[in-house]
C-alpha cells in the first residue's frame, strides 16, 4: 500500500505546485501581453504633451498667434492673385482646426493607448471636438475674401456624414460634400485634385504630410532635411500648428548629455 501511495503523492504535489505557479504568474502585476492594468499604464508617457495641448495657456497663445499670422499672410497672398486665378486654401482638420484632446484624455485616463486609433471611429461618429483658438475667425476671413476652402483630412470617408455635421455645428464656412475630402486616396492625390483648377495660396496642418507627400512615411532624419530644404515655405505657403499629443516622432530616442549626473 505504502509503495503504491508514493507515486500518487508525487503526482499530486506536481499538480499542486503547477497550479500554484500558474496562478502566481497570472496575477494583476503581470498582465498578459496587450492587456492594460492600472499598474502597467504605458500610455501615461503621453500625459505631458496632452496636458500642454489641452490645458496650457501657452498652447492657446501659440495657436491664436499662428492664425493671426496666417491671416496677414493670406491678405498679402490674395492681393497678389492674378486675373482669372481661382484662389484656394487647403487645411487639415484634426489638431489644426479642431481639438480632439478630450478623446485622448478619456483614453489616457483608462490606460488605453489612443495611438492605436481604435477609439477614433466612435469619436468621429459621436464626439464633440472644439475649435482651435483663432481657427474660426481665420476661415471666416478667408471666406469673406472669396477664397475657396478645402478641408483635406484623414478622417474616414465611412463617417463623412458625421464629420460634416461636426464641422457645420462648429459653424465653419464652406463645409460641403465636395469641399471636405476624407481618407480614401492619399492626401497628395486629394491636394492634386484641388490644384487642378485652383491656385492654392496656403496649406495649414499639424503634421508635415499635411503639406507635401514627400514627408509621408519618411524617417525623421529625412523629414528634418526636408524641413530645412523647404524652410522658405513655412510661415508663407505652409502654416504649422503645434501638436505634442501624437506624431511620427513619438517613439524616437532622445539625445542625452553624456556627462555623469551630478546633483548640488
Contact set with Mg ion (CB under 5 A): 92, 94-95, 206
Handedness of CA 114, 215, 125, 202 (dihedral sign): positive
Smallest separation, CB 54 to Mg ion (Å): 15
Best CA proximity match to 239, nearest among 100, 55, 89, 56:
89
Smallest separation, CB 217 to Mg ion (Å): 16
* Half-sphere exposure for 60 (CA within 13 Å, toward CB): 8
Quick one: 37 or 250, whose CB is closer to Mg ion? 250
Quick one: 95 or 124, whose CB is closer to Mg ion? 95
Smallest separation, CB 189 to Mg ion (Å): 18
Smallest separation, CB 120 to Mg ion (Å): 12
Quick one: 92 or 148, whose CB is closer to Mg ion? 92
Best CA proximity match to 248, nearest among 214, 207, 196:
207
Using CB positions, name the residue nearest to Mg ion.
94
Smallest separation, CB 121 to Mg ion (Å): 16
Quick one: 37 or 130, whose CB is closer to Mg ion? 130
* Residue ranges in 110-186 assigned as alpha helix (H): 120-126, 135-144, 160-169
* Half-sphere exposure for 45 (CA within 13 Å, toward CB): 9
Quick one: 54 or 199, whose CB is closer to Mg ion? 54
Smallest separation, CB 163 to Mg ion (Å): 13
Helix H or strand E encompassing 8: helix 2-25
Contacts of 68 (CB under 8 A, 6+ apart): 134
Quick one: 95 or 148, whose CB is closer to Mg ion? 95
Determine contact, residues 148/88, Cβ cutoff 8 Å. yes
Amino acid at each position: 500500500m505504502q509503495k503504491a501511495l508514493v507515486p500518487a503523492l508525487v503526482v499530486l504535489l506536481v499538480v499542486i505546485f503547477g497550479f500554484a505557479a500558474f496562478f502566481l504568474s497570472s496575477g494583476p502585476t503581470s498582465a498578459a501581453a496587450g492587456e492594460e492594468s492600472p499598474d502597467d499604464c504605458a500610455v501615461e508617457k503621453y500625459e505631458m504633451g496632452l496636458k500642454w495641448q489641452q490645458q496650457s495657456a501657452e498652447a492657446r497663445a501659440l495657436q491664436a498667434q499662428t492664425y493671426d499670422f496666417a491671416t496677414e499672410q493670406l491678405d498679402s497672398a490674395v492681393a497678389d492673385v492674378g486675373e482669372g486665378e481661382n484662389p484656394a486654401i487647403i487645411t487639415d482638420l484634426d489638431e489644426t482646426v479642431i481639438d480632439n484632446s478630450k478623446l485622448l484624455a478619456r483614453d489616457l485616463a483608462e490606460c488605453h493607448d489612443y495611438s492605436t486609433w481604435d477609439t477614433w471611429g466612435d469619436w468621429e461618429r459621436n464626439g464633440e471636438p472644439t475649435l482651435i483658438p483663432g481657427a474660426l475667425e481665420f476661415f471666416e476671413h478667408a471666406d469673406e475674401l472669396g477664397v475657396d476652402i478645402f478641408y483635406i483630412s484623414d478622417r474616414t470617408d465611412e463617417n463623412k456624414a458625421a464629420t460634416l455635421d461636426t464641422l457645420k455645428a462648429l459653424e465653419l464656412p464652406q463645409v460641403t460634400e465636395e469641399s471636405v475630402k476624407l481618407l480614401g486616396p492619399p492626401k497628395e492625390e486629394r491636394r492634386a485634385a484641388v490644384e487642378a483648377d485652383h491656385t492654392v495660396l496656403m496649406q495649414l496642418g499639424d503634421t508635415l504630410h499635411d503639406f507635401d507627400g514627400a514627408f509621408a512615411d519618411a524617417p525623421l532624419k529625412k523629414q528634418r532635411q526636408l524641413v530645412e530644404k523647404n524652410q522658405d515655405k513655412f510661415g508663407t505657403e505652409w502654416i504649422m500648428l503645434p501638436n505634442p499629443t501624437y506624431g511620427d516622432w513619438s517613439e524616437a530616442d532622445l539625445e542625452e548629455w553624456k556627462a555623469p549626473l551630478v546633483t548640488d
